[in-house]
């Protein structure tokens, strides 16, 4: 445990200590900053169509479709929110991450961001159909904003929960904020809202690569949520039995 003092441990008068070289490491704040600033900037390169990405005649032009600008605003907002949360909200339980893992994670986030941005900002991109397209985009935007607010609310709640320190551990519960009421049904509503945001982004852009990225993200977040759910259930005997991991009443 990080806060234990060696002289308070029951090791007797002599003790043998073993150290393991974990290799190059980076703190979690730097990890998340590296992971999130890449997608933010990469997407903008495609949105502004910098030279050599598309055909030369499209260099530094803009898309005539309003949904493309809206998608850029949503994507930028999403990762700006993540960066702000990393700096001002999140408290990380683990000290560092191996450098090799950071490279892999950055490749995932940066690569997918470039893939999504390439198709959404492509000169031949086709927006949702004209009959229901505007309605589809508007509904998706509302869901996106709601999910982003919900995700932020959950992160604030978790941050306040950790303010008690390791000695006063307790599981998260709903507060007066309606966005936190999802805690009644799932252990990790931050992942639920995150998936919801990407589902709405997929509907808004009607872009297959976005849907594929959303599916991969859902699979990974389900794994994390199930692990957290099991940990809560083991640690707290009075943990609510109604709660699922990530999807209310289902998963």
pLDDT(3) > 70: no
25 pLDDT higher than 90: no
pLDDT of residue 70: 97
Report the percentage of the chain scoring pLDDT > 70.
Answer: 92
Average pLDDT, whole number, for the chain?
89
What is the DSSP track for the chain?
Answer: -TT--GGGSS--S----------SEEEHHHHHHHHHHHHHHHHHHHHTT-TTSS-GGGTT---S-HHHHHHHHHHHHHHHHHHHHHHHT---SS-EEEHHHHHHHHHHHHHHHHHHHHHHT-TT--PSPTTTHHHHHHHHHHHHHHHHHHHHHHHHHHHHHHTT-GGG-------SSGGGGGGGTBS-HHHHHHHHHHHHHHHHHT-HHHHHHHHHHHHHHHHHHHHHHHHHHHH-TT--TT-BSSSTTT-
Percent of the chain, pLDDT > 90? 68
Express each pLDDT in 129-171 by its tens digit: 866 888 999 999 999 999 999 999 999 999 888 655 555 578 9
Q: What is the pLDDT of residue 23?
A: 72
**Is residue 2 over pLDDT 60?**
no
Q: Taking the model in full, what pTM does it have?
A: 0.88
């Amino acid at each position: 445990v990080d806060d234990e003092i060696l002289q308070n441990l029951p090791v007797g008068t002599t003790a043998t200590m073993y150290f393991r070289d974990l290799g190059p490491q980076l703190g979690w704040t730097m990890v998340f900053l590296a992971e999130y600033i890449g997608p933010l900037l990469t997407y903008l390169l495609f949105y502004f169509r910098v030279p050599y990405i598309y055909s030369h005649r499209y260099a530094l032009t803009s898309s005539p479709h309003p949904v493309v600008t809206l998608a850029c605003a949503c994507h930028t907002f999403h990762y700006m929110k993540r960066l702000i949360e990393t700096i001002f909200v999140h408290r990380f339980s683990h000290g560092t991450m191996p450098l090799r893992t950071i490279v892999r994670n950055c490749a995932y986030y940066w690569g997918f961001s470039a893939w999504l941005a390439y198709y959404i900002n492509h000169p031949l991109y086709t927006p949702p159909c004209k009959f229901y397209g505007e309605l589809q985009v508007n509904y998706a935007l509302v869901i996106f904003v709601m999910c982003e607010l919900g995700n932020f609310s959950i992160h604030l709640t978790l941050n306040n929960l950790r303010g008690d320190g390791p000695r006063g551990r307790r599981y998260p519960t709903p507060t007066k904020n309606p966005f936190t009421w999802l805690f009644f049904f799932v252990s990790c509503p931050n992942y639920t809202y995150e998936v919801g945001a990407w589902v709405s982004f997929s509907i808004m852009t009607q872009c297959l690569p976005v849907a594929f990225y959303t599916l991969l993200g859902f699979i990974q977040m389900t794994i994390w949520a199930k692990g957290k759910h099991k940990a809560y259930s083991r640690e707290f005997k009075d943990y609510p039995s109604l709660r699922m991991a990530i999807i209310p009443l289902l998963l």
